[in-house]
Amino acid sequence: MADANAIDGLIAEVGTDIVKRADEVDFARHTRDFTTTAPEGLELLGAAYPRTTEDVSRVLAYCNAHGIPVQPQGGMTGLAGGGVPQAPCLILSLERMRAIEEVDTAAASITAQAGVPLEMIQNAADDAGFLFPLDLGGRGTAQIAGNASTNAGGNRVLRYGMMRDLVLGVEAVLADGTIISSLNKMLKNNAGYDIKQLFLGTEGTLGVITRLVVRMFPKPLTVCTGLVAVDDYLGVLDLLNRCKAGLGGTLSAFEAMWPEFYHLGTVALDRRPPVEEAYGIYVLVEMMGSDPDNDQERFESVIAGAMDDGVVRDAIISKSAKDTADLWAIRDCPGEFIRAGWWPQIAFDVSIPVGEIGAFITECEARVKARWPGIATMYFGHVADSNLHLSIRHDEGLFDVHELDEEVYATVGKFKGSISAEHGIGTTKRPYLHHSRSEAELALMRRLKAALDPNGTLNPGKVI
Ligand SMILES: Cc1cc2nc3c(=O)[nH]c(=O)nc-3n(C[C@H](O)[C@H](O)[C@H](O)COP(=O)(O)OP(=O)(O)OC[C@H]3O[C@@H](n4cnc5c(N)ncnc54)[C@H](O)[C@@H]3O)c2cc1C
């Protein structure tokens, strides 16, 4: 077991500029993310703040040889505890590696160091006349390698995919210090195994990402937004197919909100509901196009057709940037849950095959309400991506959180869904991974981990 003295040797190897002793480290900053805090009484061994890939390599090689567990950290905006240490370890923070190395407009790519904040990547793409489409609430703090390590999603996955779809190349350092530089810039590259996938969505358990190549896209010239009401989930599926057929690849968001959520995002926050509170489900639809003369008409004709056929019962179409912001404010109300009185809450981020989401909600409601009468639930999500969010108000003494998790995740498993749509496994979902993965899949994950990190140095106690 490594102790604080083990850090002395590391400091002798790489210097005090890179490695700090525990008493020089801002403990609070390195021991919690947005949902999880390190166990009480945890002591850190120290922290490393590398400036280059070679620094990362030297730190990892030393730690691997001397049995020092390493906790990779980005911006600590994660929502699954993946960056939060569980036992004494060395923190490896990528925050000093924040250079954008190249913006290549021919390849439509950006090469950046791991610690560049997401917002800096978005701005660099914008400055070059392009769009970097990943966007999420933690954009100012979350780092691009943190986004890659969690395979982050967000609101525009339907159009542009998740982070896995936005990464062309990766440079990473293995637990033993080996540098794997796979900074590919090409869309097509079938030269053997796609090595970058080992590091995307694996939450720092198989290697530490030090640099990445990400894709840029043409900026959309138009954005059309509407909020529509339908009777039930069959109406949602009908509308989704109409939007896909009528708007094609320009459909960029399709956000469903069930009545409890819609009420919270409007009335409970002193906003007038844009369509009456009288329907089964509300959907925020958005398209991003490139034809300013025709896009709005095309968008409105798809919604009008659905209304004529009785699928859409009521609708409002945005006529200005303010209208659009007001409609999105309803969907973005989770940031205001405290003000709306929906707090504390337990949040679930799951995936269910799109056609089954309605049936899942019916069964989930029946199961949790039969077991805990009086429980308050709310549903919303990026349903076109299969992603459903369930929020349960945490009323004191009503339920045991682990038992509630087990009930919900067992229901997810029954529907062949995923217990993590976009936030990762970290520590919070680790006990439930078996609901979404077979024994053979789990065994393969363990074999991969053992092959790449035989001493279990990297991010111990996470994912698998
Ligand atoms: C307000 C808010 C809104 C959000 N909205 C969304 C959303 O809509 N969609 C979505 O998908 N996510 C969302 N998230 C979560 C999002 O996934 C994370 O915020 C982000 O992707 C993680 O980046 P980070 O730099 O903060 O990583 P951290 O939290 O620091 O780390 C996350 C994981 O990645 C590992 N890691 C970090 N850097 C590296 C590296 N260089 N090499 C290897 N492993 C590394 C860590 O060990 C940890 O396991 C949201 C978070 C917040 C706070």
> Does the pLDDT value for residue 40 go beyond 70?
yes
Atom 20 of ligand 1, residue of closest alpha carbon: 147
155 pLDDT band (50/70/90 cuts)?
confident
Instruction: Give the pLDDT band of residue 6 (cuts 50, 70, 90).
Output: confident
Q: Is the CB of 154 under 6 A from ligand 1?
A: yes
CA–CA–CA angle 408, 255, 437 (5° rounding): 35
Cβ of 453 below 6 Å from ligand 1: no
Residue 108 in 3-state DSSP?
coil
Residue type, 58: R
Sheet of 167-173: strand order equals 100-104, 109-113, 208-215, 167-173, 179-182
The vertex-422 CA angle with 102 and 351, nearest 5°, equals 145
Distance of CA 332 to the CA centre of its chain: 15
- Mean pLDDT score across all residues of the chain: 96
Give the integer Cα–Cα distance in Å for 149 and 209.
Answer: 8
Q: How far is the CA of 155 from the centre of ligand 1 (A)?
A: 15
154 — pLDDT class (breaks 50, 70, 90): confident
Give the pair of three-digit tokens for residue 124: 């660099």
Position 462: which residue type?
K
Ligand 1 centroid to residue 148 C-alpha, Å: 8
Q: Evaluate: CB of 114 within 6 angstroms of ligand 1.
A: yes
Q: How far is the CA of 422 from the centre of ligand 1 (A)?
A: 10
Choose between 222 and 396: higher pLDDT.
222
Lookup: tokens for 331: 């969907």
Q: In which band, very low, low, confident or very high, does the pLDDT at 3 lie, cut at 50, 70 and 90? A: low
| Contact between 45 and 3 (Cβ < 8 Å) | yes
What pLDDT is recorded for position 266? 98
Contact between 135 and 154 (Cβ < 8 Å): yes
In ligand 1, the atom with minimum distance to the C-alpha of 421 is 11
209 CA: nearest ligand 1 atom: 42
Tokens representing residue 421 in the block: 């749509």
Tens-digit pLDDT profile for residues 227-264:
999 999 999 999 999 999 999 999 999 999 999 999 99
204 CA distance to ligand 1 centroid (A)? Answer: 11
Say how many Å lie between the CA of residue 243 and the centre of ligand 1.
Answer: 31
Query: Model confidence over 412-464: pLDDT tens digits?
Result: 999 999 999 999 999 999 999 999 999 999 999 999 999 999 999 999 999 99
- Report pLDDT for 1: 59
| Percent share of the chain, pLDDT over 70 | 99
Question: In this predicted model, what pLDDT tens digit does every residue of 12-31 receive, in sequence order?
Answer: 999 999 999 999 999 999 99
Helix 295-308 × helix 233-247 angle, to 10°: 150
Confidence of residue 210 (pLDDT cuts 50, 70, 90): very high
Is the pLDDT at 137 greater than 90? The verdict is no
The pLDDT of residue 4: 64
**204 conformational bin, left if phi > 0, alpha if psi -120 to 50, beta if neither:** left
The answer on pLDDT for 336 being more than 70 is yes
Pocket mutation for ligand 1, best pick of 49, 149, 452 (most atoms within 8 Å of C-beta): 149
Mean pLDDT of 303-324: 98
Residue 183 has pLDDT above 70, yes or no: yes
How far apart are the CA of 119 and the centre of ligand 1, in A? 13
Confidence of residue 375 (pLDDT cuts 50, 70, 90): very high
Helix axes 357-371, 401-414, angle to 10 degrees: 150
pTM over 0.85: yes
CA-closest residue to ligand 1 atom 8:
154
Protein residue whose Cα sits closest to atom 2 of ligand 1: 137
Mean pLDDT, residues 145-172 taken together: 96
Q: State yes or no: pLDDT of 5 exceeds 90.
A: no
Strand ranges inside 140-207, DSSP E: 167-173, 179-182
- Protein residue with least CA distance to atom 1, ligand 1: 137
Q: What mean pLDDT is predicted for residues 179-189? A: 97
Q: Which residue has the tokens 């409007």?
A: 266
Place of tokens 């250079």: 99
Q: What does the alpha-carbon distance between residue 228 and residue 331 come to, in Å, rounded to a whole number?
A: 13
Residue 305 C-alpha to ligand 1 middle, in angstroms?
40
Residue the block writes with tokens 């049995």: 67
Give the residue, out of 49, 96, 97, 150, with the most ligand 1 atoms within 8 A of its beta carbon, to mutate for a pocket test.
150
